[in-house]
Structure 1
Amino acid sequence: MSQSEQPSSVKGKPTIFHEGYIYTVERTTKTKSIFRCKNRDCKARCYTNLSMDALLLLPTSHCHAPQPDSVPAIQLKNEIKAHADITDGSTSTIIHSALRTYPLSDAVQHPKNEPLMLMIQRQRTTETVDADGRLPDKLRKTYRDEGFILHEDKKLIIFTKKTNLSILKQNKHWFADGTFKVCPDDYYQLFTLHTMMTNAITPLVYGLLIGKSAEDYNLFIEKVLEQDKFQPKSIMTDFETGTIKSVKDMLPNILHRGCLFHFSQAAWQQVQSKGLTTKYNEDEVFRLNVKQLTALTFVPLDQIIIGFDLICDQFDDDADDLLEYFEKTCIDEPKRRGTGRKKPQFDHKLWNIHGRVVATVPRPNNSVEGSHNAIANRAAISHPTIVKLGEKIRRSQSKFEVDMTKILQGHDIKTKKACYRKLDERITRLASAFDLTQLDQFKKIWQLTLLFGLFSFLFFPQLVHYYVMYYSQNKQILTHQFLSFNKKEELIKKEDAMNG
């Protein structure tokens, strides 16, 4: 704009500054915008084009002197309002940030802190749900003005848009999980549905559920499936009973896998609940054996029970309760009468990820957890109002719209660090070549240990120290034993060849 600053705002009205004078918009015609002097006793006017970025005529004469020192104060207020509207920072943080570049020569015009703090609070006063509990109109659309509410009633609210559902249909591997801390008091959890686009797991559907029963999940999945003919190949969830039953009922023809991260969490919780935490911290052999139990997730399905029996032989009697838990929930408990084994609470196919490792499909829902944590951090408080949470979801959607556009244009938005990529590749090679039936007992346990050692680096950095320390202290012994087994195996093969 010629010799004037770009339009700003005073009390919601477009404002321009020119040669120390302040003008607010008076009216707009078909060809121009007309501004008048902010001083109501002055009849001065100026005229701009409709986009308000160029003066059409020079301003008429004023009846008073200009006030250039008042311009920075107005700009300061506008900047503070803008930050209050789009950020979650505290009032003092916003004010201090805006004051960093405030000209000292105009400090006398600087507003007091109290009015500025009240202004921020007023700016952040949000709309509420109406008498029928419906969300305000602002939350019903994305920042780019697309419809964002798929379903809304007292039992369920679903945030998504048509483009999200289209992407969900195109991508065959789904990931789902719930979070509770950020959920409003009237609902039980925020349940989200994600998919994998290139190397990024992207949130596409957000649901507010009133519970965690199979019926609650059924309603959520039903409303999503009604929108199109989805044909996913797999879905990964936690080990909630309601989630497992719902996936079985609503998506019976797809592969359902449990999240490796949640499986490992459950194992650690059992170590704690059985009073074995001290033993885990102090006994290196016990600690290694527990890791091997979790490493069973990497072995082929038909070799799980063999591997479990081998690992059990390495435990002392004080771990019987822990092993019994694994037998009942994950392995197969032997029947008290007759032969055979009882079905575990969680089928092997649910928690075993050997196939996903070989197919290089993501194993844990870490990215989903990260998305939930990001929303929680932006919410800043536990159990925010539904309007505040809805606003955070809109902001998340806006960010992921940019990510999705970049992905569709061939960009890589998330590059895995080289060290983690190499560890991933090693785990894939080990899992692909794993052959429990052709190895002696030591080598079987060695492979399980190596698998979980790599797994520890990827998902449990706090365990790496123990693993490295154990290996370094026993490296010479382990290597000697390993080579001895190899040599013995070669001699046996030679004897068999000679006798044959």
Structure 2
Amino acid sequence: MSIIKSSKKQDQLLLDGYCYRRAKSSETTWRCSKNNCAGRVRFDNIKYVSITDHNHAPNPEQTIANEFKSKISNSATISHDPPRRIIHEVLLSIDKNDGTAVPTYSSSQRTIERKRKKNDLPLPSPKSLSEIQIPDELKLTNGGQRFLLYDNGDVDHRMVILSSDDDLDCLSNSDHWHCDGTFKMSPQLFYQLYTLHGFVCGRALPLVYCFISGKSEPLYGEMFDNILKHISQRPTTITIDFEKAVENVVKLKLPMTTVSYCFFHFKQSLWRQVQGLGLQDLFVNDHQVRRYLKNFACLTLVPESFVIGEFERLQTEAPDSINEFVDYYEDVYIGRTIRNNRRRAPRFTIPMWNCFARFKLKKIFKWKLTNTDLPEHIAVKIREQIRHSFNDWAKHTSIIFQETGANDNADLNFVVTDQSHKRNDTLDGKLKYTIELVSDNSRFEMIKPWMNEYNLRFITTHQIGHFLGLNHCNDTSSIMFPYYQNIQPKHFLTENVTTKYGKSIPAFESKKVLKAAAEVVPTKTNKTSDKLIKSRKENGRYTNSFNPKFKFPSPALAIKWKMSTGVNTQLPYSKKELDKFLPIIRHNNSEELFRTTSGIRFIWIGHATCYIQMNNFRFLLDPIFSKRCGITSLIGPKCFRPPALSVNDLPGNLDAILISHNHFDHLDFRSVLDLNKRYGARLTWFCGLGLRKWFLIMGVQNVIELDWWQKYHFAKKEINIAFCPAQHWSRRTAFDMNKSLWGGYAIWNTQHKFYYAGDTGYTHNISIFQQIGKQYGPFDLSAIPIGAYEPRWMMEAQHVSPDEAVRIHMDVQSK
């Protein structure tokens, strides 16, 4: 039993699982708090006696919750403890079996905050700095320490500094300070809130708060004077925002401290300049502009002695559209060139904003080789090639790699595994082994089985590059290219990995600096002809003109494939397991699904069929809604899964359908008839040259044929559609081999770009996809196939593998 205060500050009796309130004009009688219940009890000076029974069951959980809320509310009004402590102390008084009846922590926290807010007296609102009066209780911390460190009481230049003795001790013990001013969080009459941060247990924490009425050198001098008199030990380094007044004062007051500008504020100042020059759209939509603007920001991570040289290189290569930004950068951070190739002093000198020297560089890495039950001659060969890999890196960096014992600690641990027992085969007569590179913070993927010394050395050198902080790059001659190539050791480390400075640059001693410095140097790409690949006919049939080695799959090859290749799919055959493994997600609310929104909306319906909405333009890719892909609905391969949408589920305002080629799994006659029946001439169909005749036979009239690189402007929706090259073929009957053109599509408006590759192989001799990316990219979203790619001896020319799909993604500059 207990009596608590309700939210309306009325007495409330909690008894035997019931909640009561006082009956009117009675001090001893209580009635049930439920309005429709006549339950009553009376207090006879000894105990509570029931007068009338309740018409409902007791609710002990509710009474426990009410009592808990009452206790935390009372504690909130009389204590300054944080909510977590209040809640914890009240929980200790509750039986552990009643824990489920207690409100959640977030709900209890809100209860405390509401109670404290309601009880707080309205603070006075001063009209001037002179009217600000700080109450005595606010001059101390909750623990009774001094909190008001300094108040000058100046009517015109009021300054208030807040910090406790404990925080000042932490600041004294911090070797590095970070200073920053904020204007948004400052009280109304003050100009800014300036904070000094120190490092406590590895974390930067605000330790001193300064309310200042301006940003002049005298004010900053007064502020630091009154802080430093309480500091027993000066910092070694201090980081400030880009204010010359602060820089001058800090250098004067702390002559032995190294002062530098904040990297965050450096990037912020560059971005504000980008916004001020109206370059935001170019930054978002132009890949080249975005890369160069980022490279200018990365100059802060380049060694100081190389900054001007790298700036001049970027200045020469940068596109004309960012000339104003380059001029700003030169004036403010580099210094304008004057007579005799000298430069004026910039507003902010290079040593102040360059961050390279701030990194704690590790110069020595230890490695070891761990192997289990390996033949001695194999272990010797492996160790020899690993040493060669480290030497490859040591030649181009200033890092020292040391081998350590198997039982000693190491930064890199090579774990060798014998794979020959898993599969009874060999490669080139040699056993299969894999190597796993393990470091303190990461575990690299298992390396492919290696066949020879060059293979092992190549893969190991690549993995060491990842350990040093390098990502994959697009240069096929680079050790950091993401796909395996059997190349010679002399070609391992190319210019884009080591940068043009060679061994003299110590940038590779730090992971973060290495990654940033590598990005500063533009990555080389495969040579791509500026001349666009055109479609070509030979004897009335289209060819893959860019790849003379392309061979069409012959009937004999198809028979060999069927006879020699088993079932590759790992999908279950039972419908129950298939529904669990690959469920079909149905959308019942079609209005919500197809409502007009900004941006790109993408729905995969099945196989190559996709629905895309680009703002108010809606279109389908290669629609197939039949159960089978074939000449009729009864002949041909059966789909594993039914489509996620049917023809009737599609929106009534569908604009266009894009057909990549005429194979049955991309052009289904039954689906074409159903779509044409529903939409008729309202729908515009797009296809390659030579395919319009088939549509006319099917009764579809509104069909537009396109050649490779031919563009169509969809005027009513302000959309552009271009037909793009692909390496594939076309055929529906025994007599129409390659009589229609195949390809993909680029679709774009002023805001977004989308690419659909269709069916295609990857062209290794000349990248048509790099041409697509250069002509129409970069793309916000791409649909690239990864199906029907095995066996490679059969499918390589016409279907890309997952690895090659990633290459296409990179070539077309897809995000």
Q: TM-score range by the shorter chain?
A: 0.5 to 0.7
Change beyond 3 A, Cα 1:340–1:144: same
Partner in structure 1 of residue 501 of structure 2 = 437
**3-state SS of 2:187 partner:** coil
Does the CA-based 8 Å contact 2:308-2:334 persist in structure 1?
Answer: yes
Counterpart pick for 1:62 among 21, 45, 58: 45
1:172 aligns with 2:182: no
Partner in structure 2 of residue 492 of structure 1 = none
Change beyond 3 A, Cα 1:74–1:248: same
1:147 aligns with 2:146: yes
Does the CA-based 8 Å contact 2:14-2:63 persist in structure 1?
Answer: no
Distance across 2 between alignment mates of 1:119 and 1:300: 56
Matches within 5 A, 1:85-484: 122-125=118-121, 133-154=132-153, 155-335=158-338, 337-359=339-361, 426=469, 436-438=500-502, 450-451=515-516
Change beyond 3 A, Cα 1:240–1:127: same
Change beyond 3 A, Cα 1:468–1:231: farther
Distance across 1 between alignment mates of 2:335 and 2:467: 29
**3-state SS of 1:304 partner:** helix
Does the CA-based 8 Å contact 1:303-1:436 persist in structure 2?
Answer: no
Change beyond 3 A, Cα 1:473–1:215: farther
Question: Higher relative CO (CA 8 A, sep ≥ 6), structure 1 or 2?
Answer: 1
Bigger radius of gyration among the two: 2
Provide, for residues 265-286 of structure 1, a one-character-per-residue CA deviation record: whole Å limited to 9, x for no partner.
Answer: 1112222222222222222122
Change beyond 3 A, Cα 1:198–1:74: closer
Does the CA-based 8 Å contact 1:423-1:454 persist in structure 2?
Answer: no
Partner in structure 2 of residue 45 of structure 1 = none
Change beyond 3 A, Cα 1:118–1:325: closer
- The letter of the residue matching 1:146 is Q
Change beyond 3 A, Cα 1:148–1:338: same
Provide, for residues 97-156 of structure 1, a one-character-per-residue CA deviation record: whole Å limited to 9, x for no partner.
Answer: xxx9699xxxxxxxxxxxx99976641225559996331222222222222111123421
Does the CA-based 8 Å contact 2:198-2:207 persist in structure 1?
Answer: yes
Does the CA-based 8 Å contact 2:196-2:207 persist in structure 1?
Answer: yes
Change beyond 3 A, Cα 1:80–1:472: farther
Does the CA-based 8 Å contact 1:168-1:204 persist in structure 2?
Answer: yes
Shift of 1:183: 1.4
Distance across 2 between alignment mates of 1:425 and 1:220: 43
Distance across 2 between alignment mates of 1:334 and 1:172: 38
Provide, for residues 154-183 of structure 1, a one-character-per-residue CA deviation record: whole Å limited to 9, x for no partner.
Answer: 421111112211121122111111122221
**3-state SS of 1:272 partner:** helix
Change beyond 3 A, Cα 1:477–1:276: closer
- The letter of the residue matching 2:181 is G
**3-state SS of 2:232 partner:** coil
- The letter of the residue matching 1:357 is F
**3-state SS of 2:231 partner:** coil
Q: Give the fraction of aligned pairs with identical amino acids, expressed as a percent.
A: 22
**3-state SS of 1:426 partner:** coil
Does the CA-based 8 Å contact 1:174-1:236 persist in structure 2?
Answer: yes
Change beyond 3 A, Cα 1:355–1:474: farther
Change beyond 3 A, Cα 1:146–1:304: same
Aligned residues: 334
Change beyond 3 A, Cα 1:120–1:322: closer
Provide, for residues 54-92 of structure 1, a one-character-per-residue CA deviation record: whole Å limited to 9, x for no partner.
Answer: xxxxxxx93885899999878755544555787999xxx
Does the CA-based 8 Å contact 1:129-1:136 persist in structure 2?
Answer: no
Distance across 1 between alignment mates of 2:324 and 2:361: 35
**3-state SS of 2:214 partner:** coil
- The letter of the residue matching 1:200 is R
* Structure 1 gaps, min length 5: 21-40, 43-60, 90-99, 104-115, 361-416, 428-432, 456-465, 479-500
Distance across 1 between alignment mates of 2:468 and 2:345: 33
Change beyond 3 A, Cα 1:78–1:220: same
Partner in structure 2 of residue 498 of structure 1 = none
- Give TM-score, length-normalised by structure 1: 0.54
Distance across 1 between alignment mates of 2:205 and 2:517: 27
Change beyond 3 A, Cα 1:129–1:249: farther
* Structure 2 gaps, min length 5: 17-26, 29-43, 51-59, 84-99, 104-111, 363-439, 443-464, 471-496, 521-777, 783-805
- The letter of the residue matching 2:140 is K
Distance across 2 between alignment mates of 1:134 and 1:66: 57
**3-state SS of 1:334 partner:** coil
Change beyond 3 A, Cα 1:279–1:448: farther
- The letter of the residue matching 2:296 is L
Distance across 1 between alignment mates of 2:133 and 2:503: 63
Distance across 1 between alignment mates of 2:151 and 2:67: 41
Shift of 1:263: 0.8
Distance across 2 between alignment mates of 1:349 and 1:301: 7
- The letter of the residue matching 2:299 is L
Between structures 1 and 2, the one with greater helix share: 1
**3-state SS of 1:271 partner:** helix
Change beyond 3 A, Cα 1:88–1:284: farther
Distance across 1 between alignment mates of 2:146 and 2:217: 28
Does the CA-based 8 Å contact 1:164-1:205 persist in structure 2?
Answer: yes
Distance across 2 between alignment mates of 1:129 and 1:179: 21
Provide, for residues 297-349 of structure 1, a one-character-per-residue CA deviation record: whole Å limited to 9, x for no partner.
Answer: 111111110111111122122222111111111112101x3441111100111
Distance across 2 between alignment mates of 1:66 and 1:305: 92
Distance across 2 between alignment mates of 1:338 and 1:252: 34
Shift of 1:244: 2.1
The CA RMSD over aligned residues, in Å, is 5.1
- The letter of the residue matching 1:133 is I
- The letter of the residue matching 1:142 is T
Provide, for residues 434-463 of structure 1, a one-character-per-residue CA deviation record: whole Å limited to 9, x for no partner.
Answer: 8753389xxx9xx999417889xxxxxxxx
**3-state SS of 1:302 partner:** helix
- The letter of the residue matching 2:231 is D
Partner in structure 1 of residue 620 of structure 2 = none
